[in-house]
Amino acid sequence: MRNTLLLAAALLPLAATAQKTTKVVVKQTNPWSHETYYVLQEDNKVKHGPYLKERTGPPTMPVLAGSYKQGQRDSTWVEYGWNGRPQGTGQYRNDQKTGVWSYYAFGDTLEQRYNHSTRILEFARIRPADQRKQYTIVEGTNSRQVTLDRPPLYIGGQQAMNQAVATSVQYPPQALRNRTGGEVLIEFLVDEQGRASGHRVKSGIGLGCDEEALEAVQQLPAEWLPGMLAGQPVAALMEVPVKFRIR
């Protein structure tokens, strides 16, 4: 009987602090997607409970899933790629990524393992082409080309970066009318602290595509790891291609 009373007493605070929520569904058209989440009835601006964002397709595929606590991302979250397979997974605490996150290419190949609490890269799969590539490193007013021990890396992986750019970029109407397609190459510097700056169009195709590509890459989150040479971080030029295709 004593155990039963203790259990009941322990449950009372939980019942007293339970908060009522209301389900919300928000539909978007560019791209076609919808969000499903819950808000507090006492304050409908505060998300609280499960969250799911999906592309409405066809087919319908998840984009992002997790949970909010008092308006902040909390617990385990999963980021999905274009193929609907997990692209990144880990923990949020107080709306910030924490601990070790695993990032995947195409849902099954581990691309990175990064500890967001210690800011230490625990694993990275470097593509053979990047291991052989000559990068321009900047040392004050001088620059030279070298093969880096590790190239600059976008935290989250190449696929996540490509998806972020592709989601942001819009096909310029003038380029569509003229059926102009091709590749715009954006160059920028990733310094020793992982900060990106000096974005410019290295090669373009015109008709508004160059400006659109430049803006999309500039809007990438400032989440870079610097290139490494002889065990030391270096400032290196990075290139991101943005492709425009008419189907």
Task: Annotate 187-231 with DSSP letters as a single string.
Answer: EEEE-TTS-EEEEEEEE---TTHHHHHHHHHHTS-S-EE-EEETT
Distance in angstroms (rounded) separating the CA atoms of residues 160 and 246: 23
* Average confidence (pLDDT) over 68-94: 96
Q: What rounded mean pLDDT belongs to the chain?
A: 91
**3: which residues sit within 8 A by CB, 6+ positions away?**
none
pLDDT digits (tens, 9 = 90+) for 15-48: 445 789 999 999 987 668 899 999 999 999 999 9
* Average confidence (pLDDT) over 136-151: 96
Cα–Cα–Cα angle for 227, 230, 236, nearest 5°? 25
On the question of pLDDT at 52 being above 70, the answer is: yes
* Average confidence (pLDDT) over 114-141: 95
CATH superfamily of 126-247: TonB (3.30.2420.10)
pLDDT at 178: 94
pLDDT at 6: 38
* Average confidence (pLDDT) over 191-200: 97
Q: Which of 198, 199, 190 is nearest to 224 (CA)?
A: 190
Which residues in the chain are classed under CATH 3.30.2420.10?
126-247
pLDDT band at 5 (very low <50, low <70, confident <90, very high): very low
User: What backbone torsions phi and psi does residue 172 show, to the nearest 5 degrees?
Assistant: -60, 135
pLDDT at 1: 41
Distance in angstroms (rounded) separating the CA atoms of residues 170 and 12: 53
pTM assigned to the model = 0.86
On the question of pLDDT at 82 being above 70, the answer is: yes
pLDDT band at 14 (very low <50, low <70, confident <90, very high): very low
For residue 1, give both structure tokens: 């009987």
pLDDT at 222: 85
31 by Cβ neighbours in 10 Å (0-12 / 13-18 / 19+) ranks as exposed
* Average confidence (pLDDT) over 206-212: 97
Cβ distance 22 to 44 under 8 Å?
yes
The more confident residue out of 15 and 159 is 159
